Chains A and B, each alone.
Chain A
Amino acid sequence: MTSILLVALWAQGLFAQDTEWLDYGGGPHARRFSELSEINASNVARLAPKWIYQTGVGGKFETVPLITRGRMFLTGPANHAWALDLLTGRPLWHINPGMPDGINACCGPMNRGFAISGERLFKVTFEGDLIAYDLSTGKPIWKKTLADFKKGYSATGAPLVVKNLVLTGIAGAEFGTRGFVDAYDVATGERKWRFWTVPTYDEPGGKTWPKDFHERGGGSTWVTGTYDPELNLVYWGTGNPGPDMDGDVRPGDNLYTCSVVALDADTGKLKWHFQFTPHDVHDWDAVGDPTLADIVVKGAPVKALLFPNRNGFYYTLDRTNGKLIAAKPFTKVSWATEIKADGKPALVAGQDPSDDGVKSCPGLGGGHNWWATSYSPQSKLHYFGSIDGCQIYFKTEQPFVEGAWYQASTTAAIPAEPSTASLVAVDPVTAETKWRVELAKAPSGGVLSTAGGLVFYGDQDGWLAAYDAKSGKVLWRFQTGGQIAAPPVSYRFRGKQYLALVAGGAVIAFGLP
């Protein structure tokens, strides 16, 4: 009976139906795992570009293109965005509203992509607006200002659609701002809730700060969160406390910075939190989108949340309650000897920045930074990029000036000990590293894994490569000619599997001959 049904489905072409890529994380679990296997280890060596669209726009493209209804929707730096035809890559519409002058931001006018709901697209502007667009025309429908860019706020992350809400975070923790996650009604743009990542003194968690510090406590939310429909929880990573390097002015754990927070999707109320780096003084944002995996630990199924951290440890948490399941370093770590069973780090003395400088590992960028990760339920491994090394951390007393850089010093490289980098595969059950491939330079892109047993990763030199998911062996590579600063996506279009990404300012779709 089953086989008859299968044959019937096959005859109707249902197995070859087009597939979509509808959000930043590649599905509600943010695994960036494609179920497609037409491109696999046996034929990936023949993968080649099918079309290229030159945007003509410079800067760094951190966008994850969305694929639906025969079209591709992508954003670019400096508030650009496009809709392209999926068959040819030819443009359908282009948004270029410009940017106001005087935006203070740490790292350039990046944007990581659209979110989609029905006939609407949503994206943030660098100056901190959330805008809903008509998918067909690119015309704006509503616009909400998240925060005042003159105070140091900016926005770069892809929004996240959760039922009838569109959620977004904010950037700016290097400017004495206060982080939040916002939820807006998809239809009207009305704000339904806001979760502040830094509580006021009298709220729960508030006593982990000095009095009246919350307005400049940091804890930005610049990378997209993840939604678990079954638990109705939204998980969001939070950034560093401010000022970054001078912790003396903010004694305490500084909740909920450098944490992952689990929020009720309907109300934004905090369900639980897990702080990776209490009282951070190394700018180790807990960025990255939390990846959700269903794993088996000691024979029991666990709804897990996976989080390779900027602080050098890999964490597996129980996503129903935030309890630690496993944590191990995936790179050189000097600030803590281990993560204890209660989730707290066993600290090493003398690792805080000082006026003369203190060597600490990892360096300021991590560890694992925001670069998108991928979990393959097929190989049961979690793939991500890592910087491996140490830096000298300095501390300087810095007066707070609204809207001004508020880092209280910086770091320096150690000339005799240059950092290296790697692509890492970790088993989330034990948090142990299963394989590691050395990279030439710090990661800039992200990872996609597929049911074809492949892991795709692009680097800052423009190489896009396919690795064997089990061993890390390189199976294919292509020089795209521009920096790759986002993960590829994969989809089936008119019966064939494709891979797409932006390299430099060029959108490229790859397929088999």
Chain B
Amino acid sequence: MLAMLVLLAQSSPADIEAGKATFRIYCSPCHGRNAEGGPRGPDLTLRGERDPAQVIADGVPGSEMRAYRSTFSTDNVERLVAYIRSRERAPEAVAGNAAAGERIFWGKGGCGACHLVGERGKHFGPDLTRIGRARGLANLRESTVNPDADLVGGYRGVSVTTRDGKTIRGRELGYDAFSVRLADSNGAYHSFLRDEVASVAIEKRSLMPAFRGSPSELNDLLAYLSSLKGDSR
């Protein structure tokens, strides 16, 4: 805590600006341009329990956040932290009812047919076990009503039409100049050489349908998603 106070006392607007420049280059690809969360990284504007300087230096084992100890000097880490601290804000209030949202998720929303939460559901779309930590409310809302806006890497759709006219659509597991591999929504695995099929098309849109519930149902669902912090339930 003392270290934190010292750090805050030392960070000048120039430090914050320098930290922002570094952030834009190294961190924004995952954490978003303004640290509000991005394709792969959590929203950093909501203060977490961990010391950001330590997370930057050591990474987060088991996640895509690697250690940056050898990349940044201590000064640069301090500038990064100064910038992240300058972006902090109060968490957005969640208007809905998480329990009602949970029922929608596993019931009429059909979300569990493709998403995992803990042990439950299916791993066709992204695993949502920790999504409340990884994403801010705005990003969750956008991804729910407009799934095409922020496609998560590794979940691209692909459809293959065979020479006998069958179409197989699913999640791309591999795609290159001469072959394609995919899993269909039943989890079945398919592999093709491209010159042995009629056509292969990468889908530009998400495989996920947009949520079509009422505004209050949407709020309930978002409340449930925000509550998913990876804790044992």
Contact = CB atoms under 8 A, between A and B. Distances in A.
A412 B151 contact: no
A398 B18 contact: yes
12 contacts: A397-B17, A398-B18, A407-B25, A409-B24, A410-B25, A415-B151, A439-B177, A441-B177, A463-B176, A463-B178, A465-B177, A479-B178
B159 to A, nearest CB: 16
B149 A415 contact: yes
A432 interface: no
A1 to B, nearest CB: 51
Nearest to A462: B176
A461 B25 contact: no
Given A404-B76, A410-B24, A459-B177, 9 more contacts: A397-B17, A405-B22, A408-B21, A409-B21, A410-B29, A412-B28, A415-B151, A416-B148, A479-B178
A322 B229 CA distance: 62
Contacts of A474: 195
A418 interface: yes
B51 interface: no
A199 to B, nearest CB: 28
Given A397-B17, A459-B177, A418 B204 contact: yes
Nearest to A423: B177
Contact of B21 (A397, A415, A416, A477): A397
B25 A409 contact: yes
B154 to A, nearest CB: 14
Contacts of B22: 405
A371 to B, nearest CB: 15
Interface of B: 14, 17-18, 20-22, 24-25, 28-29, 33, 70, 76, 148-151, 175-178, 195, 204
Given A394-B24, A397-B21, A415 B150 contact: yes
A394 B176 contact: no
Nearest to A407: B25
Contacts of A409: 21, 24-25
Contacts of A407: 25
> What are the 3 A-B residue pairs with the smallest beta carbon separation, nearest first?
A461-B176, A398-B21, A396-B21
Contacts of A357: 33
B29 A405 contact: no
A418 B151 CA distance: 11
A410 B25 CA distance: 5
A461 B177 contact: yes
Interface of A: 101, 357, 394, 396-399, 404-405, 407-410, 412, 415-416, 418, 439-441, 459, 461, 463, 465, 474, 477, 479
Contacts of B204: 416, 418
Contacts of A416: 148, 204
Contacts of A465: 177-178
A440 B14 contact: no
Contacts of A440: 175-177
A401 to B, nearest CB: 8
Contacts of A459: 176-177
A397 B24 CA distance: 11
Contacts of A479: 178
Contact of B20 (A396, A412, A415, A418): A396
Nearest to B202: A418
B177 A463 contact: yes
Contacts of B176: 440-441, 459, 461, 463
Contacts of B76: 404
Nearest to A478: B178
B113 to A, nearest CB: 24
Which of B14, B24, B29: most chain A CB closer than 10 A? Answer: B24
Of A101, A412, A465, the most chain B CB neighbours within 10 A belong to A412
Contacts of B175: 440
Contacts of B178: 463, 465, 477, 479
Contacts of B150: 415
Nearest to B177: A440
Given A410-B28, A412-B28, A394 B33 contact: yes
Contacts of A412: 28-29, 33
Nearest to A174: B25
A278 B159 CA distance: 44
Nearest to A439: B177
Contacts of B195: 474
A439 B17 CA distance: 40
A396 to B, nearest CB: 5
A477 B204 CA distance: 28
Most buried by A among B17, B151, B177: B177
Contacts of A396: 20-21, 24
Nearest to B39: A415
A465 B194 CA distance: 14
Given A394-B33, A416-B204, A405 B25 contact: yes
Nearest to B180: A440
Contacts of B14: 399
Contacts of B24: 394, 396, 409-410
B20 to A, nearest CB: 6
B110 to A, nearest CB: 24
A317 to B, nearest CB: 32
A439 B25 CA distance: 28
Nearest to A421: B177
A415 B22 CA distance: 23
A412 B22 CA distance: 15
Contacts of A441: 176-177
B183 to A, nearest CB: 19
Contacts of A405: 22, 25
Nearest to B17: A397
A416 B146 CA distance: 12
Contacts of B18: 398-399
